[in-house]
Amino acid sequence: MANKIRSSKGVARKASKTLKSKKTSKTSKSLAGSVLSNRRK
């Protein structure tokens, strides 16, 4: 069954900034990637 919950545009924007930052941890980047994968295209 597919997940029907999608990330909002604002949350996706913050996740993108997190992935670009060199100061964030691997865990943070992993979570940010998960958020972006749940964003509707």
Q: CB of 11 within 8 A of CB of 31? A: no
Q: Give the pLDDT score at 7.
A: 87
Q: Give the pLDDT score at 41.
A: 65
pLDDT digits (tens, 9 = 90+) for 1-41: 566 778 889 999 999 999 999 999 999 999 999 999 988 76
Q: Give the pLDDT score at 20.
A: 96
Instruction: Kindly report the pTM of this predicted structure.
Output: 0.74
With H, G, I as helix, E, B as strand and everything else as coil, classify residue 1.
coil
Q: Give the pLDDT score at 1.
A: 53
